[in-house]
Structure 1
Amino acid sequence: MNLPAELAMLLSACDGTVDTSALDRDPDEYDPGLFVAQHHLLPLTEIGAVRSTAGSTKEFWGAWIPVAVADYALAPWSGLAIDPDGRLAEFSLADGEPPSPLAAPGYRTLTEFIEALAEVLTQDTGPLAGGVIPGLHRGALVWGPLPGDGAPWMPVQPQVGPTA
């Protein structure tokens, strides 16, 4: 499987935010590491595992490659996929919905998303600004603020107050 250049570069810098050893974690525990649009970035070794669960791989996925899932502990997965041109798409294995390209600003391609992510993290502007807020929870990027009384969440931008 050939990876788009954007995905190969991202995985060489950060090989996923999924902890595959934590499949038996408490589902009510807030899971840190939501990186790509409220999804966990899949490590290279897990991309093939997710891709092979779709039955007839060629018919379901076509040229799309799964890149992120909403919750790795809960199969069948839903998440984001990327095509050879770097376009992002949503998919749902439970509904049998093959990847459908995203059209929202900041989400059309992986490159566009990474640029928008950098903009919101450094300047609090751009298509990802507003709504949920990027912050740190247990040392990982998590979009918040977090509900409940879990571990402290600290926003990236100082004008938003922390939760504890």
Structure 2
Amino acid sequence: MTDPFTPEKRSAVMRAVKGRDTTPELAVRRILRAAGIGYRLGGRGLPGRPDLVMQGRRVAIFVHGCFWHGHDCARGARAPKANADYWTAKIGRNRARDEAAAAALEAAGWRVVTVWECGIRAPGFADRLVAAVRDQAAAVSISAASSD
């Protein structure tokens, strides 16, 4: 299947994909703020640059898009038809980078909470997120399939 866009238009479309202040990230921030949980943005100096950081709690939150980070949900399992080898390799590198960052943070004494895009619309998501941040348990991954 060929790309319906010209190379210039495709480049413009890909440039418009945001890396921060995404809709899922803004939803997570709203939930935490409503629960009275403070956070900092960006995670500069930490492995993987988490989206949200709670220094006092030693909690790092990553908000992952299912497609871009290779989640095992329907959206994440979707395989691009155009340039499939490139995208398969890129998503594989993203997953490896995410795992390495989480391992490095955990080794440094941080708790890692990974929020998947598909989980945000799931019933009870806000309660699970707040509990994951306030809980002193180990790393947590919140997706539509999780029942925590």
Tell me whether the two structures share a fold, i.e. TM-score over 0.5: no
The structure, 1 or 2, with the larger RCO (C-alpha pairs under 8 Å, 6+ apart) is 2
Please give the range of the TM-score, normalised by the shorter of the 2 chains.
Answer: under 0.3
Q: Give the TM-score normalised by the residue count of structure 2.
A: 0.28
Q: From the two aligned structures, give the one with the greater helix fraction.
A: 2
Q: Give the TM-score normalised by the residue count of structure 1.
A: 0.26
